[in-house]
Amino acid sequence: MEPKIRRLTNKYSVITAVTSFVTQPIPGADELIVVPIHYYFSASLTWARGAPLLRAPWFQVSKIIWGGAAVRLFANFTLGLVPVAGLFSNAITAVALTELLGRYLDGALSSPAAAPPISLRAIRDVVAGSRRARRSRRSWPTIRRAFQRSVPRPTPA
């Protein structure tokens, strides 16, 4: 990904994360606001690549946007009931979906071949993977031992 496209993707990831974080308490409001942001991001990325808007694979982009909205809505109803976890989960899934959209669209526009189809399962795996990474257990004893080994012990004088 070019630096210009990377900055654009990061900008829209932050926008969708903040929007998702703020609108999380209202069920479904997040998706109603983030969907137009994703469409505008897709158009902006297409313009930034120097391609005409009609060259973008809009059917596949729409599948990513609306499929992602459906998966995120379902995730919000399951994890959104936990007050703080729902806020962060909503923001993380918005960023994951924006990243998927940016990478897919950048790859589709940079290749002269037709854009590969995307499935709802791929979208679900990206969103679930981002939630899983946040919930993953950390092994504090292992980290503590590694830190203790890296610090040299003083030698008795």
Report the alpha-carbon distance of residue 95 to residue 38 in Å, rounded.
Answer: 11
Cα distances from 113 to residues 26, 121, 146, in angstroms, run 41, 23, 48
44-96 pLDDT, tens digit each: 999 998 888 888 888 989 998 998 888 888 877 777 677 777 778 888 888 98
121-152 pLDDT, tens digit each: 777 777 776 655 544 444 445 545 544 554 44
Report the alpha-carbon distance of residue 127 to residue 108 in Å, rounded.
Answer: 21
Hey, what are 3's tokens?
């630096």
Q: How confident is the model at residue 155 (pLDDT cuts 50, 70, 90)?
A: low
Q: Is 21 exposed, middle or buried (0-12, 13-18, 19+ CB in 10 A)?
A: middle
Helices (H), the chain: 3-23, 29-48, 58-79, 83-110, 120-135, 140-150
Residue-averaged pLDDT of the chain = 78
Cα distances from 78 to residues 44, 47, 58, 123, 137, in angstroms, run 32, 37, 30, 17, 20
